[in-house]
Amino acid sequence: MSSADKLRVGVLVSGRGSNLQAIIDATEAGKLDAAVVVVISDVADAYALERARRHGIPPVFVDPKASGSREAFDERLISILTEHQVELLCLAGYMRVLTPGFIHRFRNRIMNIHPALLPSFPGLHVQRKGLQHGVKFSGCTVHFADEGVDTGPIIIQAVVPVFDDETEETLAARILKYEHQIYPRAIQLYAEQRLYIEGRHVFCKGSEDDRAVREGWGYIHP
């Protein structure tokens, strides 16, 4: 596939960018029919920007303080994404809530990764909340973004067992490994134009092997 045919992906980040790295690595390994064309951060010294730089991807910092309102900030994002002809936007550790106007503009073209099995434990500090609740399984979710916080239609989830001696850190680290697998996978399904949405449900066209794939994503241990 020539680079002209590749899905143009923009990534919004606020921090270390390990999911961004997994996406870039998958594109460079030829596992994704996609190219990351711009990385935008609302945090000036986010390490994710450095990762972008190292791979020759334009890193863009947009200063929330300089924009005034949330709407003005999001308008700035839209103009950068439009300038780079972004077709799919991936949120990867992006810590701001997008405005309804932004969601409307990119409806069904924004993905997010969340380190829990949604709809359980949306928002922040999810490992702590899960451990306090005593869950036996956690995991991660890739979903389309809508106007809510971590509420949009679910594309892929991976299930990760929670052990008795688990800490927030050990659980987050094990879940992160699965995040790095399912995010590129979801992007590839989108690039292949196999995802379609009916209400809250995301279906994958042509997945005769759907059961096998799905069961493959559930890393369930007795």
Task: Tell which positions 147-176 bind ligand GRF, by CB under 6 A.
Answer: 176
Question: What are the backbone angles phi and psi of residue 2, rounded to the nearest 5°?
Answer: -75, 160
The secondary structure of residue 58, as a DSSP letter, is: P
Catalytic residue among 55, 84, 114, 133: 114
The residue within the footprint of ligand GRF, chosen from 23, 49, 113, 154 (CB under 6 A), is 113
Could you tell me the two tokens for 15?
């921090």
Q: Which is nearer to ligand GRF, 37 or 46 (CB)?
A: 46
Q: Which is nearer to ligand GRF, 115 or 195 (CB)?
A: 115
End-to-end CA gap in the chain: 42
Stretch that binds ligand GRF, among 9-17, 50-58, 68-76, 205-213 (CB under 6 A): 9-17
With binding defined as CB under 6 A, does residue 114 bind ligand GRF?
yes
The secondary structure of residue 91, as a DSSP letter, is: E
Q: Is 114 a catalytic residue?
A: yes
Q: Which is nearer to ligand GRF, 18 or 75 (CB)?
A: 18
| Cβ neighbours, 10 Å, residue 216 | 11
Contact 172, 179 (CB under 8 A): no
Q: How far is the CB of 122 from ligand GRF (least distance, A)?
A: 11
Q: CA 164, CA 167: separation in Å to the nearest integer?
A: 9
The residue within the footprint of ligand GRF, chosen from 19, 41, 127, 138 (CB under 6 A), is 19
Q: CA 216, CA 222: separation in Å to the nearest integer?
A: 15
| Cβ neighbours, 10 Å, residue 186 | 24
Residue, CB closest to ligand GRF: 93
With binding defined as CB under 6 A, does residue 10 bind ligand GRF?
no
Entry field: residues in the chain:
222
The residue within the footprint of ligand GRF, chosen from 40, 57, 88, 93 (CB under 6 A), is 93
With binding defined as CB under 6 A, does residue 17 bind ligand GRF?
yes
Contact 63, 47 (CB under 8 A): no
Q: How far is the CB of 205 from ligand GRF (least distance, A)?
A: 26
